[in-house]
Each structure stands twice: as C-alpha cells, then as structure tokens.
Chains A and B, each alone.
Chain A
Amino acid sequence: MDKYMDAKKRNEAYNKYVKAKIPKTKAWPSLFNSFLVGGIICCIGQGINDLILLWFPNMAEQTAWAYTLIVLIFIASFLTGIGVYDKIGKFAGGGSIVPITGFSNSITSPALEFKHEGIIYGICVKMFTVAGPVIVSGVVASFIVGVIYLFI
C-alpha cells in the first residue's frame, strides 16, 4: 500500500514536471489564424446566401440557408477529397473545424481513409467515426429541448 502511494506521488510530481517542461508556444498567431480563416469561411457562406436570394428572390429564408450550408458542405467535401482541407486545417486550427465545413471534413476524411476496407465495411461504417458524436449529441440535446418545450 505504501509503495502504491509512493508511486502515486511520484507520478503526480512527474506529470507536474513534464507540464512545466513542455515548450510554451505563443497562442496569438494561431488565434489570429483561426479568427481570419473562420471569418472568411463565414463571409463566403454569407456571399453564397446572398447570391441564392438574388437569383431566387421568392425562396424562403430557411430554405436559402439550407442550400447555403449544402453548398459549403459540398465545397469542403471536395477540398477534403483533393487533399487541400487538411492543409487549411493545419494553418487555421479551430478556424476550419468550427464552421459547418469542418463537420463535412470530419465525415469525408474517414470515408476516404478507410476506402481500402471496402464500400460497406470501409466507407459506410467508418464514415461517422469522427462526426458521429456530433449527430448523436445534437439529436439527444434537441430531443430534450423539445420535451421541455412540451411542458412549458
């Protein structure tokens, strides 16, 4: 028991030491990059939305947004396929993860990766390894919200 406690203390001390030893990188450049790229992606989205409403003035706002997101998802999926999105991600970090394009990237990239295991067990099964939790948590959370609104 004593030995176990010693090991625990030793591990805590070691982890503390390692944490202090890890070289500190400046946060500002990466925060700036994510701000820049995230902002640009949102502006592109706004641009697409404006164009859609310009061409189809009678379209409902909700539908126009749905089309906007679909176009963004298409672009991100294509960029993932040709191997560009991961380079954007390396530069932007959160800037290209948080927008809906990041969601698209996280579905397309495992699908590509597991292509060699076949269409069913590779592409179809592995497609949601990264983005599955997003859909699950979103559905569960929205269900809870729906039930709450049922009673108020």
Chain B
Amino acid sequence: MYTNQTVIFKNKPVIIGSYSIVGPKEGKGNFGPYFNYVMKDDTFGEKSYEKAEMKMEKTAIVGAIEDAKIKASDVNLLLAGDLLNQIISSSYAARDFDFAFLGLFGACSTMAESMAVAASIIDGREFDTIVCSTGSHFSTAERQFRFPLELGNQRPPTSQWTVTGAGACVISSQGKGPRITMATFGKVIDYGVNDVNDMGAAMAPAAMDTMLAHFRDTKTTPDDYDLIVTGDLGKLGSEILIDLMEDQGIKLGLNYNDCGQMYYTRNQNTLSGGSGCGCSATVLNSYIIKKLRTGEYKRVLFMPTGALMSTTATQQGETIPGVCHAIVLECDDSVKDVKTSTTSNRNVQNKPKKTERQSISKSNEDKLKSKV
C-alpha cells in the first residue's frame, strides 16, 4: 500500500566539515556561541542585501572546505539552493568555484534535501566529496515575499523572522565525523492553508507526513532519537505538529524541538520564531554537528520543512504547499561510548541534555513546564 520513501545508506557517508555564518541579530540569539562567524553588519560590506547573501554562502562553502581539511580541487560537486528567485545566491556563489554545481530548490528544507541527495550519490560510490550549502537573508526575503523594509506596518503574531545566515557542510565517503545513515524524501503536502503569515501551519502537515513515512519505513520510534528537530515550523507550527502526530498515535516527547522556535531569545521580537533556509542550515552546521562530534547526541533526526510558495501563486489564490525531507545523523563510532553506552541508560544520558537545553531555550523550557 505504501511505497518506500526512505534510503538506508550502506556506506554511511561522513560529514567531514561544516561552517555557519550568521547576521548580528542571530549572533545574539540562543545559538550565538556555536556559530563559526557572526557578521557585524548584515550588508557584509556589500552594496545590496542580495550581494551580501551571495557572499555569505560563498564564505560558508569556503569555511566548510577548510574545516574538512581538504583542497577545493578534491570536491566533486556542489549542491546548493536558497529562497531567492532562480536561486541566485547559490548559483552566483558557485561561479567562483571550480567544481560542478547542481542547484536545488526545496525552500527552507534545502539543507536536508541537498544532504540527502549528496549522501545518496556518495553511497553509490560515484562521487567522493560533495559540498552542500544554503542560506537566507532577512532583508532579501522581506522584499521578495513581503513588504519594503521601511514600510510602517505591523507583523501578525503568527509571522516568523527570516534568519540571516548561511551554512555549508562537506560530505565524503570516508573520514571522521557524524554519519548520514538514512534519508527520507518527502511528498508535497497541501492542507489548504493560504495565510502567508502563517507558514508553520502550512508546513506542519508535510512534516507529519514525512515523519510518519520515516518511522514506518525504518521501523523506528521517536524514542530511538536523542533529538528530533524540524526546521522552521516556529512556535505555532511545532505545536500543531505535536497535535497532528498525537492524532496519528505517535507522541513526540521532550526530544522533539524546532530550530525556528529555539533560534531567537524571547525579547528579540520575532513572534513565532525564525524561518528561512538559513534557520535549519546554521543550527545544523553549528550546534547539532558539534554535539554529534563530541558524542553528546548519538542519533539525530533532522527534518526541515519548506513552504513551496511564490507571491505570484498566492496572489492568484493558490494555497501554500509544504515539503519536508528528513535525514538521520549518527555520531562516529569512535565517540559513541564517550559517556554511558547505548539505549539502556537513556535517562542518565538525558540529564545533561536537559540542563543544556535550559540554557539553549528559556521559552522552550517554559513550554515544557506548562506541559507537565
């Protein structure tokens, strides 16, 4: 009845390098200390915000290659995408590199999409080294999807804040680092939401669909993961996802969270949280990969969602379809037994993580409290 949507990698491609760069506001957010580089000014010394976004992506790609300690000539392929029309940030960033380029569009799910494709190619032993990259910029997204920056209007409470930031990682067939063990490709799901200020609600059904497919195909449960993280559903969207999954008989526990919801502190005025390609990309390439490298996280289900809308379609009365791709990241065998071994001691392992999370997201802590 169901067709398989999940690829299980036999050779488990390795993430050998990663890099994240963010704007000043993001640097003051909850993940601030984890980023590789925080820009002092979000124009990044460029004339326009679009140019700044291109430069950010370029910096992230160079940084990831340096972090992997390989030469640029070792790279076979660049997989990248972003939010702008004709994915200009990615393709224009790619013109400065001497390797093949494949542009992807998955809106805010691009990071997982590119990594899943890269892992599939590497797993087939066709290519050795692939760079994945994506980014977004608040000011370019505002002007493409919403209003001029200086227009004096109010943002509705469900709206989200596009993250200014770019992330890149290098995936290889060999080396040390977190491994990509599975990937679930998502379907395009549309539940008829047409409010462009409520992306979380538009994308949550897609996240549910991919999550169900993933658990079904891999015969895993939420408890098998130290962290299940969606990309930019935001505060409202992640609450909706929890409800939707509960309706399907799957309870998402404390190990579930959302990058967008965790991204900013409470007094940064971002309403429902962060969004954009850069949101999940920068969190993955800083916080999550660092924790996987140290072995604090053993197994992470990373599943950013994307809203596949354009202003033209919305103005013509179309609703907003969403898509979600999931990848499973596991820490390297060499760090697997840094602390206590495997699943029997889950509760012991959970403790340090909880305090960690407390410092990461105060608002989330409150949410947890209200649930208990």
Partner of A102, one of B152, B157, B240: B152
B91 to chain A, nearest CB (A): 19
Q: For residue B126, which residues in chain A have a CB less than 8 angstroms away from its CB?
A: none
Say yes or no: B149 contacts A86, CB within 8 Å: yes
Q: Is B193 an interface residue (CB 8 A)?
A: yes
Residues of A within 8 A of B47 (CB): 116
Contact at A113–B149, with CB atoms within 8 Å? yes
From residue B325, how far is it (CB to closest CB) to chain A in Å?
22
Q: B205 on the interface (CB 8 Å rule)?
A: yes
Q: Which chain A residue lies CB-closest to B153?
A: A89
Q: Contacts A21-B240, A23-B157 given; indicate if A14 touches B191 (C-beta within 8 A).
A: yes
B154's partner among A10, A90, A105 (CB-CB below 8 A) is A90
Highest count of chain B CB atoms <10 Å: which of A21, A30, A85: A21
Determine whether A97 belongs to the interface, using a CB cutoff of 8 Å to chain B.
Answer: yes
Do B157 and A90 touch (CB < 8 A)?
no
Least Cβ–Cβ distance between B207 and chain A, in angstroms: 13
Residue A68 at the B interface, CB < 8 A? Answer: no
B198 at the interface (CB under 8 A from A): yes
In the complex, whether B143 has a CB less than 8 A from a CB of chain A is: yes
**Main SS at interface, chain A:** helix
B240 contacts across to A, CB distance below 8 A:
17-18, 21
| Besides A86-B150, A88-B152, A112-B148, 13 new A-B residue pairs in contact (Cβ under 8 A), listed by A number | A14-B191, A14-B193, A14-B205, A17-B240, A18-B201, A21-B240, A85-B150, A97-B152, A97-B153, A105-B151, A105-B152, A113-B143, A114-B143
List chain A positions with a Cβ less than 8 A from chain B. Answer: 8, 10-12, 14-15, 17-18, 21-23, 25, 30, 80-81, 83, 85-90, 92-93, 96-97, 102, 105-106, 108-110, 112-114, 116, 129-130
Q: What 10 pairs between A and B have smallest CB-CB spacing?
A: A89-B152, A11-B192, A113-B148, A109-B150, A109-B148, A116-B48, A109-B151, A18-B201, A14-B191, A93-B154
